[in-house]
Amino acid sequence: MLQRKRKQVMFCAPSNAAVDELTKRLESQIKAERLDFEIIRVGQIEKVDPEVAHLTPEGKGQDIKKLLEEDMKKNKKLEDEVERLAKHVDKLYSNKQALYTKLQELYKKPTPENQHNVLKIKDEIKSVKHCIEIHKPELAQARDAMWEARKNTKAKFTELEAKMFKGTDVFCCTLSGSASTNVSSSGYTVDTVNIDEEGQCTEPSVLIPLQYQAKKVILVGDPKQLPPTVISKTAELFNYDQSLFVRMLSVNPRSIHTLDTQYRMHPHVSLFPRVEFYDNILRDGPGMLQKTSRPWHSKQYLTPYSFFNVEGTHQFGGKHSIYNTAEIEFADKLFTAALLLGKNGPDKKLEIGIVSPYK
């Protein structure tokens, strides 16, 4: 799929985490094979994994900003001038108001001295008004120049960014992110759209990346795993929780290419889903027993998988949180036992994950 340059490809997934993982693997493959491909991770830089932030439009945009460095300096000078004039005009208005206040006080006590001061303050007010008449148009002119400069810089940035997008070979984005204005306005057409974890996507969301008139669409998913998350029961009645993958499977089973080999689980773990969900079609990859076996599997309570009946009850904490003290204590003991066995075993690095069913 990534063998010939200018074959434009889009990789999508329903979540940012899934897209980030795809992006990492693609970038790794491109670097390993020294392929001449431009890849963009579409999305806001603060919402993506830091490891792929440099591939976002904003991350790549730093190079564009360097090209516009002179424009940015000019804009900064104009902004500083506007700020200086604005402060000066504001100060003039404040002075004028203060003089009017003084004038009102003098009118209340019409002494000869105050009458002299009234004339003096009136002259000062006249002078301040004259200054305002001079500097106010200057401020308006400076603001117009600033906005015009900003508009020109933005136009240049947009033009350079559009060129960047048009020169991109691989786009990685969420389904909703594929509707990005940057992507759609670049006149981007794709040869192939790949949608990962498609079984978890609603049909309408899958239609978004199809707007780019792809010649080929590849849906990757597992209908036996989680379906799309749909809150509305009414929507479920109209099959809103059905993915396009499931629809295609029901309409044309021959269009599905089944991957029947797993390379992650210990055979004892894969046995249950194989029998319960996959009609014994799922197979273990070569040498999976040896690859996934660990020294502590021979221990009674640390086999590839075990179920423990822990007597305890749910308790409610602050902010509607739920916890079970008995399960916490048991998990802690099991963790300690696994840690000790791991330290005494041949593995230099031991990873232990604790997953709670509570949200």
CA gap 214, 212 in Å, rounded: 6
CA gap 299, 266 in Å, rounded: 16
Q: Which residue has the higher pLDDT, 2 or 263?
A: 263
Residue that is written with structure tokens 């998988």 in the block: 305
Considering Cα of 15, then 21, then 25, then 31, what sign does the dihedral take?
positive
Taking alpha carbons only, the member of 331, 355, 336, 356 closest to residue 296 is 336
CA gap 107, 326 in Å, rounded: 84
pLDDT of residue 4: 45
- The residue-averaged pLDDT of 170-199 equals 84
Residue 27 clears pLDDT 90, i.e. is over it: yes
CA gap 27, 65 in Å, rounded: 24
Bridge partners, residue 9, by sequence: 170, 192
pLDDT digits 0-9 by tens, 235-271:
989 989 899 999 988 898 888 888 999 999 999 999 9
pLDDT digits 0-9 by tens, 123-182:
888 998 999 999 999 999 999 999 999 898 888 877 777 777 778 889 999 999 998 766
**CATH 1.10.287 residue window(s) in the chain:** 68-160
Lowest-pLDDT choice from 90-94, 184-188, 268-272:
184-188
pLDDT of residue 343: 64
Taking alpha carbons only, the member of 145, 158, 152, 156 closest to residue 79 is 145
Averaged pLDDT score across all residues of the chain: 86
- The residue-averaged pLDDT of 73-95 equals 91
112-166 vs 69-108: helix crossing angle, rounded to 10: 160
Strands (E), the chain: 9-13, 39-41, 170-174, 192-195, 216-219, 261-262, 283-284, 315-316, 322-323
Q: What is the pTM of this model?
A: 0.65
**pLDDT category of residue 103 using cuts at 50, 70 and 90:** confident
pLDDT digits 0-9 by tens, 313-346:
888 877 777 888 999 999 999 888 888 776 665 5
**CATH 3.40.50.300 residue window(s) in the chain:** 9-38+167-257
Q: What is the DSSP string of 3-27?
A: SSTT--EEEEESSHHHHHHHHHHHH
Q: Which residue has the higher pLDDT, 261 or 43?
A: 261
pLDDT digits 0-9 by tens, 275-304:
999 999 999 999 999 999 988 888 877 889
Pick the CATH number of 9-38+167-257 from 1.20.1050.140, 1.10.3720.10, 3.40.50.2000, 3.40.50.300: 3.40.50.300
The CATH architecture assigned to 68-160 reads Orthogonal Bundle (1.10)
CA gap 141, 151 in Å, rounded: 15
CA gap 124, 230 in Å, rounded: 71
Q: Which residue has the higher pLDDT, 317 or 99?
A: 99
